[in-house]
Chains A and B, each alone.
Chain A
Amino acid sequence: MAYWKPITELGEAHLVKEGSTLAEVTEDIVKVTENPAPRGWWILFGIAMSLVGIFTFCVGYLFYRGVGVWGNTAPVYWAWDITNFVWWVGIGHAGTLISAILFIFRQKWRTAINRFAEAMTIFAVICALIFPGIHVGRPWLLYYVFPFPNQMTLWPNFKSPLLWDVFAVGTYFTVSLLFWYTGLIPDLATLRDRSLTKWRQRIYGFFALGWRGSNRHWRNYERAYLILAAISTPLVLSVHSVVSMDFATSVIPGWHTTIFPPYFVAGAIFSGFAMVETVLLIARSVFKLQRVVMMRHLELMNKFILLTSLLVGYAYAMEFFMAWYSGNPYEMAHFLHNRPTGPYWWAWLWMVIPNCVVPQLYWFKRCRTSIPLMFVVSILVNIGMWFERFVIIVSSLNRDFLPSSWGIFRPTIIDVGTFVGTIGVFFTLFLLFMRWLPMVSMTEVKATMPQADPHYGHGEEKHEEPHDPDHVPDAAVAGGLVPGGAE
């Protein structure tokens, strides 16, 4: 058995359409950046830019009038701003999962989607960072959160989870950017070497840093990539854990829960996969990438969505169980009454049905492989996960210990505009990325193809030494179990 051949008995298949050449992969991916943008791209870009206009107006008005333009008021002082922040950070997590965790587990199929997912991480974290930035009321004093000598000679309080969050999300953004750029370097060199115009050659060449595919460089490069993947894995788990501690370390019923860190991480990956899928399905049809982004990849993503949906469903159930089991009247009042039957019961249903019920469709192969269905499900999951954060934040705050201080939160048009606006910011950045950068990692896709195996298609019997124990590890590596290879 040759190592470059998929083990069909295990359900493996070729990751790129069988018989594709290396040059075809380059051509498919690079031509997106070389050809004029298709009409679909311009339509989407126009819509996204319009939303950016709304965003700019809403944030400008917020800075002019202050945070009173939002619906936040006693007792709900955190509302859509933090809901949106947590939602966007969570979306970013799938990108790191795909690029780092699946890399460490040698999941070769990730090569079709990892660049995408990493870009999504970066843009989602940009959108997330906007909200803590603008919700402080006096955004020009935001530098107080950094350990920066300010005019009060006062340092930040390092015991505060909100400050942990600054470091966690800041580190997450920086590491994601470094990881993404490192992965881009060989592909930027491909763009440089194919350039037909001087300007393309200069710009891509500048960012390709003079990469020349040297094996002496690949050796350090692959090690850097492996280390980045290895450190991103605990990082991504820490980021949403720290985000959850913003809530879990408080005493509010509904927030004061030890299950929060893993529950938030599972939810983050769940919503992130849904968002990758939404964006990928659009890009796949607009740019006709069926050769690289195959049904097989989409089906695997749907399996992930099903798995994380079950994890999230378990966490919801466990929150209820613990509230009842604790016998704490405030916990019971919150979980057993306020959430399902309180003023936000409809938001609770929007959380439970799309997150726990709808993904159960993916038990069926026919559903996992239906493009229209998965598009709808991915959007429903995005909505459901937004409502999960809304339920956690708003419905926990609106009724706390004293009934006399209960209240109702109503969003304003500026709340809506700011949130919808960040979706525009996200898609604008994404569309620019798809237009100007290779949206699939050519290097990694090529490395998973049969041609990448030095044993491919020639004298198999000569290289086949199944009884030589020393030969097996090398051959296993040569079989491309390693996307991009390790040592």
Chain B
Amino acid sequence: MEAKATKSSGAVPTVILAEFDSARDVLHAAEKVQAAGYRNWDTHTPFPVHGMDRAMGLKDSRLGWIVLAFALTGLSGAFVMMHWMNGVDYVTVVGDKPPGAPQTLPSMVPILFELTILLSAFGAVLGMFGLNKLPRHNHPLFESERFRAATDDKFFISIEAEDPKFDVVRTRELLEGVHAAHVEVIEEEPE
């Protein structure tokens, strides 16, 4: 297990990055890192690894609530728009039918539905970006050449220096002890 620093020794470590060759190895290692009590850490995989959320002790995504809020906004917004435009602001009587709600409610259904869906989709995508704090084009992990394989066929665990339990020597030992194929310390020049 070779371990080396990517930059000169005067720099401050920001992340320790461990590389694994298989989904099985990274999952087992994640269980150990979680058991060791780390908090500011993550796994990086080319595809979502099943069981990883449980191994990392992650709770269910909160995205559904965001989407629900967007969906209700779409639904009520569509209703208010149609009722106000055709029934209040400019009364539009077509085919001798009453212009506003509640009588026109059946004819509103398609647009109520479509705008609910439209807003939900925006809620899902924008909510996901918000929860993930993306886009973020700069990240210490991108300093690592080996990390490029995280989107190809390698599996990584990163532990951040901000973690209260972080210790360059002990954290590295932990990662080496869980069969990391390679451990790397990413450092940054102090400002």
A residues sitting closer than 8 Å to B (CB atoms) are 21-23, 26, 147, 153-161, 163-164, 167-168, 170-171, 174-175, 178-179, 181-182, 186, 189-190, 192-194, 205-206, 209-224, 227-228, 231-232, 234-235, 238, 242, 245, 442-444, 446-447, 451-458, 474, 477-478, 480, 482, 484-485, 487
Chain B residues contacting A487 (CB-CB under 8 Å) are 53, 60
* B8 at the binding interface (Cβ < 8 Å): no
User: In the complex, what's the smallest C-beta–C-beta distance from B152 to chain A, in angstroms?
Assistant: 5
User: Could you name 26 residue pairs across A and B whose Cβ atoms are closer than 8 Å?
Assistant: A22-B152, A155-B89, A155-B90, A157-B86, A157-B92, A171-B118, A174-B118, A174-B121, A186-B151, A190-B151, A190-B152, A213-B156, A215-B48, A216-B42, A217-B134, A227-B67, A227-B124, A228-B121, A234-B117, A238-B113, A242-B114, A446-B153, A455-B24, A474-B54, A480-B50, A485-B47
Query: What 1/0 flags go to B56-99 for Cβ under 8 Å of A?
Result: 10101101100100000000000001100110011010110100
Name the B residues within 8 Å of A168 (CB-CB): 110, 114
State A222–B23 Cα separation when bound (angstroms). Answer: 18
Q: Name the residue among A194, A213, A443, A452 with the largest chain B CB count within 10 angstroms.
A: A213
* Chain B 122-160 per-residue mask, 1 if CB under 8 angstroms from chain A, else 0: 101101110110111111011000011111110010000
Closest residue to A445 on the B side, CB-wise? Answer: B47
Asked whether A452 and B49 contact (CB < 8 A) given A210-B135, A231-B120, the answer is: yes
Q: How long is the Cα–Cα vector from A160 to B151 in the complex, in angstroms?
A: 49
Let me know if A215 and B121 touch, CB within 8 A. Answer: no
Q: Assess A167 versus B111: contact at CB under 8 Å? Given A175-B117, A212-B150, A216-B42.
A: yes
How many angstroms between the C-alpha atoms of A447 and B92 in the bound complex? 54
Task: Tell me the minimal C-beta distance from A405 to chain B in angstroms.
Answer: 23
- What residues on B are CB-neighbors of A155 within 8 Å? 85-86, 89-90, 92
Which B residues lie within 8 Å of A482 (CB)? 50
CB–CB B42/A224 < 8 A: no
Q: What chain A residues lie within 8 Å of B108 (beta carbons)?
A: 158
Please give me the residue from chain A that is nearest to B53 by CB atom: A219
- Residues of chain A within 8 A (CB-CB) of B152 are 22-23, 26, 190, 193-194
CB pair A218–B48 under 8 Å, yes or no, is: yes
- Is B46 engaged at the interface, CB distance under 8 Å to the other chain? yes
Is B50 a contact of A454 with CB atoms below 8 Å?
A: yes
Question: Do B56 and A477 touch (CB < 8 A)?
Answer: no
Minimum CB distance partner of B83 in chain A: A158
Q: Do residues A212 and B118 form an inter-chain contact, with CB atoms below 8 A?
A: no
Q: Is the CB of B128 within 8 A of A164?
A: no
Do B42 and A214 have beta carbons less than 8 Å apart? yes
Knowing A22-B153, A178-B122, say if A215 contacts B42 (CB, 8 Å). Answer: yes
Q: Is B10 an interface residue (CB 8 A)?
A: no
Give the B interface residue count (CB, 8 A).
72
Nearest 4 CB-CB pairings of A with B: A209-B135, A22-B153, A224-B128, A155-B85
For residue A442, which residues in chain B have a CB less than 8 angstroms away from its CB? 46
Q: Are B47 and A484 in contact (CB under 8 A)?
A: yes
User: Hey, which chain B residues are within 8 Å of A218, CB to CB?
Assistant: 45, 48, 52
* CB of B27 closer than 8 Å to a CB of A: yes
A223 and B64 contact, CB distance less than 8 A: yes
Tell me the bound Cα distance from A220 to B130 in angstroms: 10
Give Cα distance in the complex from A219 to B142, angstroms.
Answer: 21
* In the complex, residue of chain A having the shortest beta-carbon distance to the beta carbon of B106: A159
* Chain B at the A interface: SS class: helix
Q: Kindly state the separation between the CA atoms of A452 and B45 in the bound complex, as whole angstroms.
A: 10
List the A side residues contacting B82 at CB < 8 Å: 158
Contacts of B14 in A (CB 8 A): none
Q: Of B53, B97, B107, B153, which contacts A21 at CB under 8 A? A: B153
The answer to whether A454 and B48 touch (CB under 8 A), given A23-B152, A217-B134, is no
- Report yes or no: B110 in contact with A227, Cβ–Cβ below 8 A: no
In contact, B94 and A167 (Cβ under 8 angstroms): no
B51 within 8 A of A: yes
B172 at the interface (CB under 8 A from A): no
Is the beta-carbon distance between B43 and A171 smaller than 8 angstroms? no
For the complex, give the distance between the alpha carbons of A210 and B27 in Å. Answer: 23
Distance of A174 Cα from B44 Cα, bound (Å) = 30
Compute how far the CA of A26 lies from the CA of B139 in the bound complex, rounded to whole angstroms: 23
Residues of A within 8 A of B136 (CB): 209-210
Contact residue among B23, B125, B138, B142 (Cβ-Cβ distance under 8 Å from A452): B23
Question: Complex Cα distance A147/B153, Å?
Answer: 49
Alpha-carbon distance between A235 and B115 when the two chains are bound, in angstroms: 10
Residues on A with C-beta less than 8 A from B30 are 215
- Please report the C-alpha to C-alpha distance between residue A328 and residue B168 in the assembled complex, in whole angstroms: 86
Complex: how many Å from CA A170 to CA B121? 13
Residues in chain B near residue A179, CB distance under 8 A: 121
B22 contacts which chain A residues (CB < 8 A)?
A: 451, 456
CB atoms of A206 and B137 under 8 A apart: yes
Least Cβ–Cβ distance between A188 and chain B, in angstroms: 9
* CB atoms of B47 and A446 under 8 A apart: yes
B104 within 8 A of A: yes
Task: List residues of chain A with CB within 8 A of the CB of B81.
Answer: 147
* CB–CB A447/B48 < 8 A: yes
Q: Which residues of B sit under 8 angstroms from A160, Cβ to Cβ?
A: 94
- Neighbouring B residues of A478 by C-beta, 8 Å: 50-51
A156 contacts across to B, CB distance below 8 A: 85
Q: Take A22-B46, A155-B85, A213-B151 as given contacts and tell me if A221 and B114 are in contact as well, using a CB distance cutoff of 8 Å.
A: no
Given known A22-B152, A157-B94, A158-B111, contact A219–B58 (CB-CB < 8 A): yes
Q: What are the residues of chain B within 8 A of A458 when measuring CB–CB?
A: 24
Contact yes or no, B46 A175, CB < 8 A: no
